[in-house]
Amino acid sequence: MPDRLSQEIIIAMVGPVGSGVTTAAEFIRKTLTQEFEYTVPGIIRPADFILAEMHRVSMEPPPKKPLGTYITTLQDAGNRLREKFHGDYLAEKVVEAIVKLRSDLGGASDKADQIPGRRAYIIDSLKNKDELDLLRRLYGKTLFLFGVFAPDDMRKMRLIDKDVADEDEAKKIINRDRGEPLTFGQMTRSVFTESDFFICNDTKVDELERKLRRYIDLVFDVGVHTPTQAESAMHEANSAAVNSACMSRQVGASIVSRNGELIAVGYNDVPKFKGGLYREDNRHVLDLDSMKPAFLDKDHRCYKWGKGVCHNETRRNNIVDKIAEKIKQSKLVGSRISVADIKAAIAGSPVESLIEFSRSIHAEMEAILSVAREGRHSIVGSTLYTTTYPCHNCARHIVAAGISTVVYIEPYDKSLAIELHNDSIAETKSSDKSHVVFHQFDGVSPRIYFELFKLKGARKSAGRAVKPAPKSALPVFRMQLDGISEYESLVLFGLEEKEKAVAVLE
Footprint of Zn ion (CB under 5 A) = 362, 391, 394
**Least Å distance between CB 455 and Zn ion?**
36
**Least Å distance between CB 376 and Zn ion?**
21
Q: Which of 386, 118, 146 is nearest to 249 (CA)?
A: 386
Residue closer to Zn ion, measured from CB, 19 or 388: 388
Residue closer to Zn ion, measured from CB, 177 or 410: 410
**Least Å distance between CB 262 and Zn ion?**
20
Residue closer to Zn ion, measured from CB, 148 or 406: 406
Q: Which of 445, 36, 25 is nearest to 221 (CA)?
A: 36
Give kind and range of the element (H or E) at residue 475.
none
Handedness of CA 497, 498, 503, 504 (dihedral sign): positive
**Least Å distance between CB 414 and Zn ion?**
10
Is the Cβ–Cβ distance between 161 and 26 less than 8 Å? no
Residue closer to Zn ion, measured from CB, 182 or 398: 398
- Any bridge partners for residue 254, and if so which? 265, 385
Please give the Cα distance from 267 to 361 (Å, whole number). Answer: 8
**Least Å distance between CB 281 and Zn ion?**
26
**Least Å distance between CB 194 and Zn ion?**
22
Residue closer to Zn ion, measured from CB, 31 or 387: 387
Write down the number of H helices and E strands in the chain: 17, 16
Label the pairing between strands 383-388 and 405-410.
parallel
Buried b (16+ CB within 10 A) or exposed e, 79-113: bbbbeeeebbbbbebbbebbeebbeeeeebeeeee
Residue closer to Zn ion, measured from CB, 88 or 366: 366
Q: Which of 202, 220, 176 is nearest to 31 (CA)?
A: 220
Length, in residues, of the chain: 506
**Least Å distance between CB 364 and Zn ion?**
6
Residue closer to Zn ion, measured from CB, 85 or 412: 412
Give the angle subtended at the CA of 197 by the CAs of 437 and 119, to the nearest 5°. 160
Give kind and range of the element (H or E) at residue 407.
strand 405-410
Residue closer to Zn ion, measured from CB, 125 or 386: 386
Is the Cβ–Cβ distance between 384 and 254 less than 8 Å? yes
DSSP one-letter code for 500: H
Q: Which of 369, 382, 502, 497 is nearest to 437 (CA)?
A: 382
Residue closer to Zn ion, measured from CB, 362 or 429: 362
**Least Å distance between CB 403 and Zn ion?**
13
Please give the Cα distance from 207 to 201 (Å, whole number). Answer: 8
**Least Å distance between CB 424 and Zn ion?**
16
Residue closer to Zn ion, measured from CB, 394 or 401: 394
**Least Å distance between CB 391 and Zn ion?**
3
In this structure, the number of other CB atoms found within 10 A of the CB of residue 409 comes to 24
How far does CA 216 lie from the centroid of its chain?
Answer: 18
**Least Å distance between CB 392 and Zn ion?**
8
Which residues, 6 or more positions from 26, have their beta carbon under 8 angstroms from its beta carbon? 43
Residue closer to Zn ion, measured from CB, 93 or 362: 362
Helix axes 167-175, 152-161, angle to 10 degrees: 140
Please give the Cα distance from 167 to 157 (Å, whole number). Answer: 8
**Least Å distance between CB 253 and Zn ion?**
9
Please give the Cα distance from 323 to 432 (Å, whole number). Answer: 44
Surface-to-core class of residue 64, CB atoms within 10 Å of its CB (0-12 exposed, 13-18 middle, 19+ buried): exposed
Please give the Cα distance from 148 to 199 (Å, whole number). Answer: 5
Residue closer to Zn ion, measured from CB, 201 or 386: 386
Residue closer to Zn ion, measured from CB, 362 or 439: 362
**Least Å distance between CB 438 and Zn ion?**
13
How far does CA 504 lie from the centroid of its chain?
Answer: 59
